[in-house]
Structure formats: C-alpha cells, structure tokens
Amino acid sequence: MSTGASELLQGTGGVVGGPGDGEAEPAAAIAARSPFELFWRRLRRDKVALVALGFIALLVIVAVFAPLIVKLFGAHPPNDQNSAALDDFGSARGPGGGYLMGTDGLGRDVFSRTLYGARVSLEVALITAAVAVVIGVTLGLVAGYFRGWVDSALSRVFDVLLAFPVLLLALGLGAACALGNGCIAVNYDRTGQVLIVLGILTLVGMHGWNLLMTRRRDPDLPPLRLGEIVGRSIPGLLLLVVGLVLAVVVKKTNGALIQPGLPVVIFIIALANIPYMARIIRGQVLSLREKEFVEAAQSLGASNTRILFRHILPNLVAPIIVYTTLLIPQNILLEASLSFLGVGVQPPQASWGAMIADAATIFDTAWWYMTFPGAALLLTVLAFNLVGDGLQDALNPRSGQ
Amino acid sequence: MKRSLRWAVMLGALIALVVGLTACGGSSSNSSSTNGSKAGEPTKVDLSAGKKGGKITFLAAADIDYADPGQTYYTFGFMVQQAINRPLYSFKPDDTTTPVPDLAAGPPEISADNKTITVKIRQGVKYAPPVNREVTTADVKYAFERSFSKNVPSGYAGTYFSSIEGTPAKPNTGDIKPISGITTPDKYTIVFKLKAPQAPLVSQALVMPITVPVPEEYAKPFDAKLPSTYDQYVAQTGPYMIQNDSKGKLVGRKPGKQITMVRNPNWDGKATGDYRPAYLDGVTIEEGNDQLEVASRRTLSGNGLMCCDAGSPPAQVLKSALTSNKDQIAFVPSGGTRYIALNTKVKPFDNLNVRKAVVAGFDKNALRQTRGGKLLGDIATGWLPPGIPGFEEAGGLTQGKQYDFDTKPTGDLALAKQYFAKAKAEGVPIGSNGLYNGPDKLLTIATNADPGKKTAEVAQNQFTKLGFKLQFRIVPQDTLYTKFCGVPSQKVAICPNVGWFKDFTDPQSMLDATFNGNNILQQGNVNWPQLDVPAINDAMKAAATTPVGTERNKAWAKINDMIIGQAPAIPWIWDKTALIASKDVKQVPNGYTTVQDLSFSSLK
C-alpha cells in the first residue's frame, strides 16, 4: 500500500506545484487509495488488456444473447440442416445467399454455429476453472497448512495426476466416458440413501457430541449462537440434500455418473486443472503459514478453519485470479482439442473444436468452415491470455520489471 | 510480457487472419458443374481389346487384408485374388448377375432335391512356380476343409457353406480335418452334398475365393501353424502372380509398402479356357496413399496410375474431375444398401404405423448428400440393390412403389402425420401437432467417423423433426456392431449407420441374414431391425430352394416387397463407387469386386 501511495504522490506532484499555488494547500490532495483502486489504476493504463477485456465482454454478450443475435441477423438456427443449401455433391456453400459465413457440410449456418460455439467454450472454460479453483484451492490450503501426512498424501495424488500428459489422460477418459452410456456407473438410489444416513449422522454428531462434551466440561457456557448452529449444520445438511436429490429426484436416471457430452469434457478438464491449482496454492500457503499474522491468530485461539479462510485465503487472491485467467484459455483450447479429436461435445451441439475437425478435410474447398470458428478460437484464447497478463501486471507490478 | 510485444502479438494475429481470409477468398466457390447428364450413371464396361504390355501402378491406402484365398474378405483383397487366382466361378466385368465358369469347366449340376452340387473343372490349369503342377479337385476340397479350421479363419465359410454335410459348427482345431460332404470321384470332379436343400444359394456362392484351389502337399506345413502362414506362400493360378522366391514366399508383398505382381509363366489362358485377356506385363500396388484426395489428384494428373482402395475420391476431386477429366472416371454400383434400422422390438418402433410414418417423413436425399450426392448413389427404395439378381423383378429403382410411404425421396411430412394418426388410434403417444410425443429418449448408436457421422447427424435431425427424443451416442464403427447394434440385449432403438453389401450375387444372400426372424442372434446379429414376421420367414424358406433363374429372382423380389411393407428400416442409398485412372490407362471396372479388374485394364 505504501508503494501505491508514493506513486500517487509522484503522479500528482505536477498539479501540486502548478499555477495557482503560493497559497499553502493542506495535504488534503494526498488521498489514500484502496488496493482495488491501485489495481484498477494500473490495469487502466494497460490498453492491450483493456481491449482484450472488451473483447471478452463482447464474447460473453454474444454467448448469452446468441439466439437473439441469430434472429437479428436473420440467420438460421444452429442445428437447422438445409440440404437445399448444398450442391449436387453435398458440398458446403460459401458465404452469401442468406448464410453470412456460409454453411457446413450438412447445410447448417456457420455464423449461428460459431456464435453458439462461444457458449460451449465459455461454459466449459468457466465451469472447469471454477471447479478447479474451489477444489484445488481447498486442497492446496489443507495440504500446505496442515503439512504432515495430509500434505504427503495429497501431494502424491497431485504427482500422479500431474504425471499424466493432460491430453492423453483427457483422451483416455474421454474415450471411456464419451462412448455409449458414459462412465462411472452409479446406483443413485443406494448412493442417495447412504448420503442421507451420513448427513443425519453428521448433523447429530456435530451438535449432539458438541453439546454433550462442552456442557459436561463447562455447564456455564453461554448457549450457541444461531450463526454457530448454522455453521456446524452445513456439512450434514449438504450431505442430506445431495442424498435426497440422488435418492428421490435422480433415482430414475439411467446410465453413468459422467454422461457423454459436456459433462465428460468438464469432468476431464477440471480433473486436469485441480493439481496445478492445488500445487500453486500449497506452495504459497507453506510460506504464509510461517508469517507473523498467522502466529498472532493462533495465539489468539483462532480455529484452523478461521485461519485458513479468514487470514490466509485473502492473501492468495492475487495468485488465484492470475492463475484462473490463465487456466481459462487453456481450458478453451483443451475443450476444442477434445472436440476436435471426437471425444468432446456430442452432435449436434456446436463447438469450435468439432467444427474445425469437420472442416479440416474440406478446407481447400470450404475455407469458411474452418476460418470462422478458428478465428473465434484464436481471438478468444488470445484475449484471455492478454487479460491474464494484464491482471498479473496490475496485481503484482513488480513482476513485469 | 512487455506492452509493445503484446500489441505486436495482437496485431500479428489480426493480420494473419486477414491474410488468411483474403487468400482463401480467392478460391471461394460453391458451384458445381457436371458436364453431361450421364455423369454418375454406371459406366458401360468396354471389353474391347486393350493394348498389350506395359505396367500399371495402383495407389492404395493400405495392404490387402490377406493374399490367402481362404481368408480374404474385403473388396481390395478380392481385386488382387481375381488377378492371381482362379475360383470355380467368377464374374466377367460386364455382367455381375451371371457367374461364368472359371476353374470350373461348366455350370454346376444341381440335383433335383437341391441337395447335391457337382462341378467339373478344366484340365491343364497349372499352378505358378514353385508348385508347377496341374490343379485337381482334391485341391478345391482341401481349400474348403482348411477354411473350416481354426488355423485359417474364414469370414464367410460358416455363413454360406455350413449346409455342406460334415462341416463343423465351430472351426476345427488341430490338423485340417476332412469334410465328409465333399468328395472327388476323379481328378476333375468335385461333389458337394448338402444337409438341407440349399443348393441354389451354395452354387451361387461358389464364386467366393474359398473355391480357389490350394495344393495340400504344399500348403500343409503352413496350415499346421496357428494362424496359418500360407498367406505368405500362396500358390497361384491366375494370369498374374505376386512375385515369389523359389520356396514360394511372396517376396513381392511388402505389407504397408507395395505388392509387385508379375505375369504367371504357367498361365495359358487359351489352353485352359480363361476368359481374362491379361494385357499388362505387371501391376504394382503402391501402399501408404492414405490421403485419398492426394492419391486421387495424383492419379488424375499422372501416368499409368489407378486409384483407390479406400472408396470414391472426395467430392471436391470428383467435382473438378467431372469437368476436366470425365473420361478418367468410371462409376460402378457397390451392390449394397445402406439403411437406418428401426428396432421392431423396442417401443415405439414395435408399432408398424410409427415405422411407416418415419419412413414416409424421412428426407432420404439429405441423407444421400452426406455420401457425395446423387452421383455416388441412387435413393434406395428397397433391399435388392442394382447388380443383384431380382433387382429388376423387384421394380428396379422404384421398388415398393405400391407403398405410399416409400415413394417420396425428400420425405412427406403430411403423410407421416397420417400414419402417426393411425398409430395414435393404437395407443401410441402422438402430440397435438400430429408428431410423435413419447416421453422416452430412444437409444441411438452412431459411428464417430465421417461420412457415417454426418449421415447420423442428418438422421438425428430428422428424427427430432418427427418428434422423437434421442439418446444419441457416437462410437467407433466396429463398436457400433459388436457392442450395440449387433447385440439385441442392448435394446438400441435406432442404428443409423448400418448397411448390407453383397458377398456374391444372389438375392437370398441380401435378404435372408438381414430380415429373417430365424436368424436373430444374441451376438453378432445382422438382422438389426430384429424383424420377425412368420409370413416373411416362411416365404424365405420356400424361396431358398427355388432354382437359380427368373423364378428365384421373382420369389425373392416378392419377399423384398413384403419386407418393404413392414418398414423395418429406412433404406436411403444404393452406393456407387467412382473409380479413377490416369489419362493413359483404360480402366475396366468389375461389377462384382466394384473395383478395377486388373486382368482387363490396360494402357492406352
């Protein structure tokens, strides 16, 4: 914060010494800036990152409002096949004649499919990044903070996952899960029942045991506050809810836990991301847990959960944000690769990777089919990378020097 | 990253895009022009004399499956077999319906009870070096016997010849065992005794490579191994031979690289009544040309080349070739039907009117476009494709015209709704829009590779238009058959990528395995719709004994009609294969193998 303030002082020095001075101005012009203001100030100066951010905003708008945009441009719905748009050989039609970006080999509108492809890319990228962040950060925190056997066990699991080449692992899992009825067959009924029992046991255990033991030790303790009761009920309630959903709602669903299509892609990419995120966080936590503020919290009697989530986690926001923004473009590319290799989204859903794969064999006669989804993929990945780069510079100004 | 560098990257990407777009824009063309209305029609085979001498190179993607006549089962293997060996019967390039005696001296003699077939073979036919001796019927007998052994896995011996007395239910293990139903009264006569009156079918199947003679004394050491190594030491009787050494090893076959075929010095066509002219001095099969487009273009612009083993050239090559290289293309019917099987044992396809509605509403033309459009196939209306006896009797290209649901190539939604309305009266859930409205997702198993995947996507779209909800899954083609569509217990409702192609030209071979309820198997089932209609099964039983000829064709044509009436599947294309050759090559397509006939093709 002191660095930011001094920068600010230097930056406004000209104004302070400009025309109209002579009167003794109080130090009111020197204002303290919050970390966010400083971050925004630095980011604002990075025009490339801002342009990229604008592109991403546009992409999000396109993805969300794809149906409206398609209508607005008078384009055809993405899955509408029009055999009349093809020639006698069943070849794709180039741009024009009601098709802004031409058609694919089934007479579908490449423009619409490119727009809808953005949905898949963003959906996969954001969900997988979110899953990787939540699980990876939690595991990283636990491993780094508790060390010992927990750290060893988790780290070995990360090592195993990291030892697999991501694309190969993804292909293997994709092939196993994308075919037929999916993979990891689950008896939802039974699983749900087990989770319900576990949930009830957890609820009873957390409260009953706590009440019994603490009251026995000190009968004069004040009653639990509502927040504490709710807090302690969360794990049990979660198990109970998931159990009820599986046993009552999902019980009639056929097939496996991971169904072919987007769920497979999301599962694979998230699984591939988790160890990377966890490793980074673990390393940071190993360093942070030795800092004075952690010792101070421990000496004040703060619980491990409180230290982890109230004291250590806020210090990890910068690396999490930066790494997440770098994960997103990687995940977009991985989704495209999986779809390109035929183990990604299922037809007829539009995906840039699948479109590029379909177009590869006819590129010399149907350039439009590969060019537009390819360009969209290229620009999206580039934009996310540039934004990630800009964020890194803005959050940690020393890193760029 | 420095800011200036990032700008450069961004600009670079944009410039690359713009340049790419500009460059590609120059080649934009979606027009197609085919000169002449004859394009796509089966090419009339020109059997006029060709130039003698010279060599041709055939561009292939991969090796043949087997050189061993007892094992080969694919078109490309048949093409080579046709040049290097003489089965009992074979087809001249210009007639795919009537086999002619090849090693046999005349047509098969069939007993009145349809249980005995007698074949006499030509005298003086000799094996190529190093065997060098005359062919006898004992060699043909041995060829059959070895094909029923585990050491020589045959793809079809059990399917078409299991009605011969003494054939085992499962391939024999250990030594090659004799088959009691095959006898050789003398060196030039062979007799097949059958368990059932199946002589018409079996006699037609005598064109298969299993009838190529195999000299027992020469082949036995190779056949003693599991699997047999005779594939590398094949004894040859045709006008050409794969180059071999003094021990008979096929040194001219280098899998993945090339096959060198030279003239068989012991072949004397005139003396032994071989109809093959064999103009060329030799043929080289150059393998590794797995880029079909590259191989096609190379063939069209090169000299002394023919192509391709992996199917028709890509549409873009055909398009340009039809304008500038029309004489270098020949079209030949593939002798098969592709269809979308509707499982008649799974709701709602257990209802005939639902099936009729689906057939009526389907746009077959859209399906056909996924395989190259009208030039590469006629819209299928039944199950007897062009080139198969009974095709004309069944109504030719307009089979099943008495069924209104089978007459509109682009689909008739109004008619589909009429059938859905009838189905509604029978308790099938039909929505207020007149389309199917059932709650269940129908398991649909499609192939994951083009062009089949494209076909399946078109089918998926059309089923959705008709109101069906699909659980659409894509799998590799072999998995499609071995794990799903060929396994009735999987209860796959829709198989959009199935097809049945001739092994030989007999109508029974096209309909019996695929639509006879008695042939539904729990594994490896090919009656994909699981059609089991007693009247059809009985009619097939009766027609199986009808002698080869017009009556037989009519009987099976009638069965074809009965099957169409049951709408067990959506037939959508009778494929044609486009064959290409260089300007200086006179290519002669063979309607049976559906590729070029190496013994008739020549240099110009």
Q: How many residues does chain A have?
A: 401
Label residue B14 by pLDDT band (50, 70, 90).
low
CA neighbours closer than 13 Å in the CB half-sphere of residue A309: 7
Euclidean distance between the first and final Cα of chain B, in Å? 65
Decide if A83 and B366 are in contact by the 8 Å CB cutoff. yes
Q: Do B458 and A81 touch (CB under 8 A)?
A: yes
Cβ-defined contact of A367 to B13 (cutoff 8 Å): no
CB contact at 8 A, A386 and B14: no
Residue A187 confidence class, pLDDT cut points 50, 70, 90 = confident
Region of poorest pLDDT, from A49-58, A304-313, B18-27, B457-466: B18-27
Residue B241's beta-bridge partner residues?
B262
Angle at CA of residue A253, ends B472 and B452, nearest 5° = 10
Contact (Cβ atoms closer than 8 angstroms) between residue B240 and residue B262: yes
In the DSSP assignment, the letter for residue A143 is H
- Find the closest chain A residue to B450 by CA distance: A358
**Helix B507-515 with B550-566: angle, nearest 10 deg:** 30
Tell me the pTM.
0.77
d(C-alpha B305, C-alpha B321), whole Å: 15
Q: Are B418 and B466 in contact (CB under 8 A)?
A: no
Residue in A102, A106, A364 closest to B457 by CB: A106
pLDDT at residue A322, rounded to an integer:
87
Q: What is the mean pLDDT of residues B453-470?
A: 94
Is pLDDT at A93 greater than 80 in this prediction?
A: yes
- Above 80 in pLDDT, residue A173? no
pLDDT given at position B157: 92
Instruction: Using DSSP, state whether B328 is helix, strand or coil.
Output: helix
* Candidates A82, A89, A259, A351, partner chain B, best to mutate (most B CBs within 10 A): A89
Average pLDDT over chain B, rounded to an integer: 90
B315 touches A at CB < 8 Å: yes
Count CA atoms closer than 13 A to A201's CA, side-chain side. Answer: 7
| Nearest-by-Cβ selection for A90 from B10, B315, B449 | B315
CA A334 to centroid of chain Cα atoms: 13
pLDDT digits (tens, 9 = 90+) for A366-399: 899 999 999 999 999 999 999 988 988 888 766 5
Residue with tokens 């694979």, as numbered in its chain: A268
Angle at A315 between CA A161 and CA A390, to 5 degrees: 80
Of B77, B60, B45, which Cα lies nearest the Cα of B298? B60
Q: pLDDT above 70 covers what percent of chain B?
A: 93
Give the relative orientation of helices A47-64 and B3-25 as an angle to the nearest 10 degrees: 50
Kindly tell me if the per-residue pLDDT of B23 is higher than 50. no
Please report which confidence band the pLDDT of residue A310 belongs to, taking 50, 70 and 90 as the band edges: confident
**Percent of chain A residues past pLDDT 90, beyond the cut:** 33
> What's the rounded Cα separation, in Å, for the pair B521 and B531?
12
Higher pLDDT, B27 or B164: B164
Q: Is the CB of residue B248 less than 8 Å from the CB of residue B131?
A: yes
Q: What's the pLDDT tens digit per position in B240-294?
A: 999 999 999 999 999 999 999 999 999 999 999 999 999 999 999 999 998 888 8
Q: Pick A94's closest partner by Cβ from B29, B32, B34.
A: B29
In chain A, % helix, strand, coil (3-state, to 5) comes to 75, 5, 25
Confidence at residue A287, expressed as pLDDT on a 0 to 100 scale:
92
User: What's B439's DSSP letter?
Assistant: S
Comparison of pLDDT for B338 and A248, the residue scoring more: B338
What letter would DSSP give residue B50?
P
Instruction: Specify whether the CB–CB gap between B98 and B83 falls below 8 A.
Output: no
- State the pLDDT confidence band at B296, using cuts at 50, 70 and 90: very high
* CB contacts, 8 Å: B1 with chain A: 389, 400
- Give the model confidence (pLDDT) of B225-243 as tens digits: 999 999 999 999 999 999 9
* Structure tokens given for B489: 């217990």
Residues of B in contact with A83 (CB under 8 A): 363, 365-366, 369, 458
Look up residue A146 and give its two tokens: 């508790």
Q: What is the pLDDT of residue B30?
A: 37
- Residue A399 has a pLDDT of 59
Question: What is the spatial distance between Cα A148 and Cα A151, in angstroms, rounded to a whole number?
Answer: 5
Question: Residue B8 pLDDT more than 70?
Answer: no
Contact A358 B10 (CB under 8 A): no
- The pLDDT, as a whole number, for residue A181 is 62
- pLDDT for residue A28: 58
Least confident of B46-50, B62-66, B161-165: B46-50
Looking at chain A, which residue has its C-alpha nearest residue B477? A179
pLDDT exceeds 50 at position A11 = no
Percent of chain A with pLDDT over 70: 81
Spatial distance between the Cα atoms of A283 and A154, rounded to a whole number of angstroms: 13
Beta bridge partners of B117: B110, B192
CA geometry: angle B149, B151, B157, nearest 5 deg: 45
CB contact under 8 A, B10 and A371: no
Peptide bond into B130 cis (omega under 30): yes
User: Mean pLDDT throughout A203-227?
Assistant: 68
Give just the sign of the alpha carbon dihedral A170, A171, A176, A177.
positive
Question: How many beta-carbon pairs under 8 angstroms link A with B?
Answer: 132
What is the pLDDT, as a whole number, of residue B38? 58
The nearest CA of chain B is from the CA of A348 a distance in Å of 7
**B40 pLDDT higher than 50:** yes
Query: Which residues from A are below 8 Å from B34, CB to CB?
Result: 88
Q: Do B34 and A88 touch (CB under 8 A)?
A: yes
Pairing state between β B469-475 and B602-603: unpaired
Cross-chain residue pair A95–B28, CB shorter than 8 Å:
yes
Phi-psi map region of B373: left, alpha, beta (phi>0 left; psi -120 to 50 alpha): left
Least confident of A88-97, B21-30, B286-295: B21-30
pLDDT attached to residue A250: 67
Per-residue pLDDT, A236: 81
- pLDDT confidence of residue A1: 35
pLDDT in tens, B539-574: 999 999 999 999 999 999 999 999 999 999 999 999
Chain B residues 556-575 with a CB less than 8 Å from chain A: none
Q: Which residue of B has its CA nearest to A382?
A: B10
CA B488 and chain centroid, separation = 24
Residue A88 has pLDDT above 90, yes or no: no
Q: What is the pLDDT of residues B106-127, one digit of tens each?
A: 999 999 999 999 999 999 999 9
> For B369, which of A83, A358, A362 is closest by C-beta distance?
A83
- Widest Cα–Cα separation across chain A: 89
What mean pLDDT do residues B342-361 have?
Answer: 96
Predicted confidence band of residue A251 (pLDDT cuts 50, 70, 90): low
The CA distance from B578 to B268, in Å, is 32
Phi-psi region of A90 (alpha: psi -120 to 50; beta: other; left: phi over 0): left
Per-residue confidence (pLDDT) for residue B448, from 0 to 100 = 81
State whether A347 and B318 contact (CB < 8 Å).
Answer: no
Nearest CA in chain B to A344: B474
For residue A79, list chain B residues with Cβ-Cβ distance below 8 A. Answer: 461
Token pair listed for B137: 């019927």
CA distance B64 to chain A (A): 25
469-528 in chain B: CB under 8 A from chain A: 472-476, 479, 483-484
Q: Collect all residues of chain B within an 8 Å Cβ-Cβ radius of residue A179.
A: 473-476, 479
For residue A324, give how far its alpha carbon lies from the nearest alpha carbon of chain B (Å). Answer: 18
Q: Which residue of B has its CA nearest to A393?
A: B1
Is the pLDDT at A317 greater than 70, yes or no?
Answer: yes
The average pLDDT across B481-500 equals 93
CA distance to partner chain B, nearest, from residue A230 (Å): 41
